[in-house]
Amino acid sequence: MSSLNGLKSGIAELTRSAGVHLNDAFAPALARFARTKVRHMGRMVERSRGLRAGQGSAFAIAFIAAGWMYGAVAGGNGSAVVSGLASVVGLNASDIVITGQVETSEADVWEALGFQPGGSLVGFGVGEARARLLELPWVRDVAVRKLFPGTLQVALVEKRAVAVWQHNDRLTVVERSGAPIAKFGIGDLINNRFSHLPHLVGQGAAGRASDIIPVTAQYPSIAGRVQTYVRIADRRWDLMFANGLRVKLPEYRVDTALSRLADMEQETRLLEREIAVVDMRLDDRVTFRLEEDAAKTRAELVSARLKAMKKADLKL
């Protein structure tokens, strides 16, 4: 009887520490259940002469504890009971390891995880936490693992940004498929964030980024100096350079046009000249339009040359 009273006292203490309070309707049922099972286990222990001293009592205690847990879960207090038991046996998470986090803020990860150091690993739902983490804008995939006795691992795989897309007045960071990842905000601009990414402009530009960026990357002398890729009527591309030069690419055979442009750059330093537009839309010709000042200077030179030629003709 003294052992049973000690067990009841221990269970009562564990119940209070877990914040579980059994209601009056459930308590008598639990008492009857426990009393019946204790008697049954006692008879089993008496018949089991091969058991070592104390093993029978241990079995009885384990059985009663299981019944108590079942009753607590049925009464709606399961999570508190599990947390309490986890604390007793040392299954609380003392170490939470998060890897793969670059663009995702730590605060967002913790909020989506819904778990704090010291929480119970036993009652923590890995599947639900993973589903919440996958809703974060930068997260492509994530693995959440419980490593007993006290470690929770969260391994994030983030999306890879390839460009910043401007459509009307809105800027959006996009991945290779053109799918939006996150809004490009004023904070990103102030912190010079994503300044290394190409700039896409125009309707349909994000969805066709994979058509132009990898092809241009094959010509480093061109790609390294492109400031903006402009989608024209969702049919073709213009390349804008930092010095204001615009190169009009054809709708088809873009690779051929870029190869030709790279050759002209190598031979004549074309991208450094006072040229406003290089029109490569036609296969059989390339046309140039000079910058306004350069065009005016050229016109004056041509005029002066013509006058000099006329004077020479008069002398003859």
pLDDT digits (tens, 9 = 90+) for 88-98: 444 566 788 89
Q: Nearest CA to 64 among 95, 32, 108, 91?
A: 32
Read off the pLDDT of each residue in 35-48 and give the average, rounded to a whole number.
54
Write out the residue limits of the CATH 3.40.50.11690 domain(s) in the chain. 161-294
Read off the pLDDT of each residue in 28-49 and give the average, rounded to a whole number.
52
Higher per-residue confidence, 25 vs 74 = 74
C-alpha angle 97-103-107 in degrees, rounded to nearest 5: 55
Compute the distance between CA of residue 238 and CA of residue 77 in angstroms, rounded to an integer: 65
- What is the reported pTM? 0.61
Alpha-helix residue ranges (DSSP H) falling in 166-291: 186-190, 209-216, 220-223, 254-268
Q: What is the per-residue pLDDT across 48-68, written as a single tens digit (0 to 9) for each?
A: 555 555 555 555 444 555 554
Residue-level pLDDT at 27: 44
Compute the distance between CA of residue 5 and CA of residue 8 in angstroms, rounded to an integer: 5
Residue-level pLDDT at 19: 43
Q: Which fold has domain 95-158?
A: Ubiquitin-like (UB roll) (3.10.20)
Residue-level pLDDT at 3: 46
pLDDT at residue 225 is higher than 60: yes
C-alpha 239, offset from chain centre? 30
Q: Nearest CA to 212 among 200, 202, 220?
A: 200
Which residues are bridge partners to 156 per DSSP?
142
Average pLDDT of the chain? 76
Contact 163, 198 (CB under 8 A): yes
Q: Nearest CA to 137 among 166, 102, 167?
A: 102
Q: Give Cβ neighbours of residue 80 (< 8 Å, ≥ 6 apart).
A: 18, 19, 20, 72
Residue-level pLDDT at 100: 95
Write out the residue limits of the CATH 3.10.20.310 domain(s) in the chain. 95-158
First vs last C-alpha separation in the chain: 139
pLDDT band, very low/low/confident/very high, at 142 (cuts 50, 70, 90): very high
Contact 97, 152 (CB under 8 A): yes
Read off the pLDDT of each residue in 78-102 and give the average, rounded to a whole number.
64
3.40.50.11690, 3.40.50.970, 3.90.380.10, 3.90.650.10: CATH of 161-294: 3.40.50.11690
CA distances to 7, 29, 50, 67, 178 from 3, in Å: 6, 21, 21, 17, 70
Output phi, psi for 216, to 5 deg. -65, -35
Q: Any idea which residue has 């498929």 for tokens?
A: 177
Mode of pairing for the β-strands spanning 199-201 and 180-183: unpaired
pLDDT band, very low/low/confident/very high, at 314 (cuts 50, 70, 90): low
Contact 271, 265 (CB under 8 A): yes
**By mean pLDDT, which of 12-21, 211-220, 242-251, 255-264 is the weakest?**
12-21
pLDDT at residue 172 is higher than 70: yes
